[in-house]
């Protein structure tokens, strides 16, 4: 099996006559943390939309574990294993954190819920998955609390947990730390870094400290094109990258 989980080749997306993405070659290694950075309007969100099937590619290819998914619908891509982090608004606020995760875990195997004689077995497996995710999120102490009563930081971690519970091949996180306070940022940073051990995570992030600290690979975009891709230390020193940020310091420790 190739070590690349998700790959694009020559990917292009147009909005009318505007090229929002051009010739993007991206290679996301299995079980790694891969970040996408770039100034406003660089095409990061459009890239995510193209990967999840929210917008169609006008040129190029997208491959998941070597399989061409360029023309697959967004629903099919979820089934094939691309998970985009849920938004806080898609959590069920009345249900406990554990129940939310149980539903997310069930989403991947709806047939199990429909077959009566498999129900007990399926629910044990699903509960085990939910509990493993709770541990991973370090939210054991609030597992039975309604999702709507969790703190903002806990809800954001639960969003990531909902994606993990579906046991995807690749997890896409769109600015997972935006709007967070410093304590919550630390929790999210630890969670994402830890996920990279056995999950493939692709995330858009503006916080350079996090990007430089927890990424195995960084892709820098500008004006719809990939500028540079490589490990944090290499990217940070790249003259093109420094120019793209127009003198804005790319700060942050490198782990
Ligand atoms: N639906 C659309 N129709 C036309 N142009 C669009 C559309 N969505 C985005 N764009 C344009 O495409 C370009 C890339 O936008 P995109 O949102 O992908 O950038 P981004 O890197 O995610 O930016 P930010 O960091 O500000 O979120 C921008 O110039 C934007 O104005």
46 Cα to the center of ligand 1, angstroms: 6
For the stretch 23-49, pLDDT in tens is: 999 999 999 999 999 988 899 999 999
What is the pLDDT, as a whole number, of residue 110? 43
Q: How far apart are CA 232 and CA 219, in angstroms?
A: 9
43 Cβ closer than 6 Å to some ligand 1 atom: yes
For 88-121, the pLDDT digits (tens) are: 567 889 999 999 999 888 875 444 445 555 554 5
Query: Exposed e or buried b for every residue in 91-117, given b needs 16+ CB within 10 A?
Result: beeeebbbbbbbbbbbbbbeeeeeeee
Domains of the chain and CATH, by start: 1-81+168-255 (3.40.50.300), 87-167 (no CATH)
Please indicate whether residue 187, judged by its CB atom, sits closer than 6 Å to ligand 1: no
Q: 15 CB under 6 A from ligand 1? A: yes
Query: E strands, the chain, where?
Result: 4-15, 18-29, 33-37, 59-64, 67-68, 82-84, 170-174, 201-204, 217-222, 225-230
- With a 6 Å cutoff on the Cβ, whether 49 touches ligand 1 is no
Find the mean pLDDT for residues 70-84. Answer: 92
Sequence-ordered list of residues with C-beta below 8 angstroms from that of 75, at least 6 positions apart, any chain: none
Residue nearest to atom 1 of ligand 1 (CA): 15
| 42 CA from centroid of ligand 1 (Å) | 7
Q: Which atom of ligand 1 is nearest to the CA of 206?
A: 25
| CB contact at 8 A, 198 and 227 | no
Of 145 and 166, the structure prediction assigns the larger pLDDT to 145
Q: What pTM was computed for the model?
A: 0.89
CA torsion 193-210-64-105 (nearest 10°) is 50
Q: Mutation test of ligand 1: which of 38, 46, 221 has the most ligand atoms closer than 8 Å to its C-beta?
A: 46
117 secondary structure, DSSP code: G
Q: Is the CB of 38 under 6 A from ligand 1?
A: yes
**Spatial contact of 226 and 217, defined as CB atoms under 8 Å apart:** no
What is the structure's pLDDT at 10? Answer: 98
Strand, helix or coil at 222? strand
Q: Which of 205, 139, 197, 220 is nearest to 172 (CA)?
A: 205
- Ligand 1 centroid to 125 CA: how many Å? 41
Neighbours of 62 (CB within 10 A): 24
The string over 203-219, giving b where at least 16 C-beta atoms fall within 10 Å of a residue's C-beta and e elsewhere, is bbbebbebbbebbbbbb
Q: Is 35 in the pocket of ligand 1 (CB under 6 A)?
A: no
- How many A from CA of 149 to the centre of ligand 1? 34
Pocket flag, ligand 1, residue 41 (CB < 6 Å): yes
């Amino acid at each position: 099996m190739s070590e690349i989980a998700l790959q694009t080749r020559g990917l292009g997306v147009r909005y009318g006559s505007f090229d929002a993405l051009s010739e993007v070659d991206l290679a996301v290694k299995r079980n790694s943390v891969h970040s996408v950075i770039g100034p406003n309007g660089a095409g990061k969100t459009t890239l995510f939309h193209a990967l999840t099937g929210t917008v169609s590619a006008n040129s190029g290819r997208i491959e998941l574990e070597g399989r061409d998914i360029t023309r697959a619908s967004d629903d099919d891509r979820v089934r094939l294993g691309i998970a985009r982090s849920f938004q806080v608004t898609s959590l069920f606020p009345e249900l406990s954190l554990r129940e939310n995760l149980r539903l997310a875990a069930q989403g991947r195997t709806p047939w199990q819920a429909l077959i009566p004689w498999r129900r007990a077995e399926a629910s044990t497996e699903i509960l085990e998955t939910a509990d493993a995710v709770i541990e991973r999120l370090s939210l054991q102490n609030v597992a039975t609390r309604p999702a709507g009563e969790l703190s903002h930081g806990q809800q954001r971690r639960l969003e990531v947990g909902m994606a993990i519970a579906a046991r995807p091949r690749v997890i896409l996180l769109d600015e997972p730390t935006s709007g967070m306070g410093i304590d919550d940022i630390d929790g999210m940073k630890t969670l994402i870094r830890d996920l990279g051990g056995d999950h493939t995570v692709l995330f858009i992030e503006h916080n350079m400290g996090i990007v430089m600290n927890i990424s195995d690979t960084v892709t820098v975009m500008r004006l719809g094109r990939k500028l540079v891709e490589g490990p944090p230390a290499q990217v940070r020193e790249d003259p093109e990258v420094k120019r793209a940020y127009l003198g804005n310091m790319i700060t942050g420790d490198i782990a």
